[in-house]
Structure 1
Amino acid sequence: MRTDHPESRIVHEQPTAVLRATLHRDEVRGWFRTAFDVVAEYLRRHGIAPCGFPFARYHVRADGRFEVEAGFPVAVRISGDRQILPSCLPGGHVVVAWHVGTFEQLGDAYRALDSWLQTEHGARAGDAWEVYHDPPNRTQRWRTEVIQPFRLN
């Protein structure tokens, strides 16, 4: 397992096509593959090519469950349907950490981002997202980019 030293970037807002759900922690990992397949099928039916790797973004609720959205970046905003929704990843300053390892060890990347923010006198500015550069299957060593929007204090 490896988590690389975080680096800061400026990114542009990115339209996305997503599936959303409210899940318990132990449901999140298994839900990803289905979510990516469902969104990919929507894009295929509508002749839309993804313009990047699959991603997931989640927000922890007060009850401990997660509000999750997972899907793909697209070149233009989609109209969506009853299941697939238009969304976007925010633009602005972000700090990025690469993680190579299991899904269960992904917390190491978040800790590296928090350490970077503390050192640089920064603060989170919204929820992070994860970009999966390897398919989320049974492989034990995912290459995941964890991206955290931030602002300097």
Structure 2
Amino acid sequence: MTEFSLIDVAETPYLYVDRETGMAMAEIGEAMGSAFAEVWAFMQKHGVPPAGAALAVYYDYSPDRMAFRAGFTIARDDMAAAEAPVKADVTPAGRVAHGMHRGSYAGLQAAYGEMAAFVQAQGVDFAPPTWEVYLNSPDEVPEEQLLTGLYQALA
């Protein structure tokens, strides 16, 4: 079970590419992996260092399709390096619901259900976007030790 709280966050600049997939975990994983590789290659080519972790940002919510942005946090000054298909944006500043998910990415769906119940209990409403910050990688740690920060903007 993931514990949630309401916190205030600053906006975070990031470089990203857009992806859209079905909801199968293998398809999502493949799309995320290719997006991260594309943005990372762009950053290396243009000398843009990461300023933090990888992230995925969700603006469109659908039961059978997932549209998302995937990339890396960067310094604000490096946003000008964006060049299609790599784009730059910021996560929103302000009050958000936040939780830390530990374990497999397959458990994120249940964590989002817990987040929705938490937000409803607080008497506040969701607003786009939702984003995930990947604090480590399956290449670095066993699946049960994966850490994913979950953020939900509020209306």
* TM-score greater than 0.5 by the shorter chain: yes
Structure-to-structure mapping, 1:4-153, within 5 angstroms = 4-26=2-24, 27-58=27-58, 59-61=60-62, 64-76=64-76, 77-137=79-139, 139-141=142-144, 142-151=146-155
Contact 2:19 2:35 in 1 (8 A): no
Identity %: 24
SS at 2:128 equivalent? coil
Letter in 2 for 1:146: L
Q: Any stretches of 5+ residues in structure 1 without a counterpart?
A: none
Q: 1:17 to 1:81 in 2, by over 3 A?
A: same
Q: Taking structure 2 as the reference length, what is the TM-score of the superposition?
A: 0.85
Q: Distance in 2 between matches of 1:100 and 1:21?
A: 25
Contact 1:132 1:144 in 2 (8 A): yes
Task: Figure out how many residues of one structure are paired with residues of the other and give that number.
Answer: 148
Q: Distance in 1 between matches of 2:112 and 2:5?
A: 13
SS at 2:96 equivalent? strand
Letter in 2 for 1:73: T
- Deviation string 1:6-65 (CA, Å, 9 cap, x unpaired) is 012111222210011222122212211221121112112211111111011222248x32
Q: Distance in 2 between matches of 1:82 and 1:131?
A: 23
Q: Distance in 1 between matches of 2:72 and 2:137?
A: 13
Pairwise CA RMSD = 1.9
